[in-house]
Amino acid sequence: MIKRFLPDMYQESIFTINYKKLKKNGIKCILFDVDNTITPAREEKFYEQTKKLINKLKKDFKIILFSNNFPKRIKKFGDYYSVDIACVSLKPFSFKYRYILNKYGYKNTEVAAIGDQLLTDIQGGNKVKITTILVNPISEKDERETWLNRQIEKKIFKVFDKRKLLQKGKYYD
């Protein structure tokens, strides 16, 4: 049961992921979480470094911002980074992931999800058997609704550590 929260990869940030390896493994589409993955939660910060990374990645991958947040917020990021968006995704439920697979014609083996939360981003992606990549949150500030998830995550990380499945700060790909 605990393995439903276990990511395929764990990296410090979106900037330390081995995207060449993803491409080599057949990944064609990357779903980026927004809040605390590419920008601090509850803030509208647009980073030039992130824009450069996304523009580089667009040469090899379809990039989609995949968020539980509302269109009013996420559209601004989609416009700035010139990528598609999927809002109100209701992660960890799987229907929006399946919608993306069907809409763009991808197999689950061709999609990777990158996010900062085990309970939403990773569990949701694991449900549909896509590649899941956990990154550290870029800010300690979270959405109010995320506080409980973070408390549960702490317990899951303790179980992972005890079973030597994943240790916080020990990155792998």
Domain ranges of the chain: 2-162
Is the CB of residue 47 less than 8 Å from the CB of residue 74?
no
Sorted by sequence, the CB contacts under 8 Å of residue 57 that are 6+ apart come out as 19, 30, 63
Q: Which tens digits make up the pLDDT trace of 6-53?
A: 999 999 999 999 999 999 999 999 999 999 999 998 888 899 999 999
Q: Which of 173, 143, 161 is nearest to 2 (CA)?
A: 161
Q: Which tens digits make up the pLDDT trace of 110-166?
A: 999 999 999 999 999 999 999 999 999 998 777 777 888 999 999 999 999 999 999
Stated pTM of the model? 0.95
- 2-162: what fold? Rossmann fold (3.40.50)
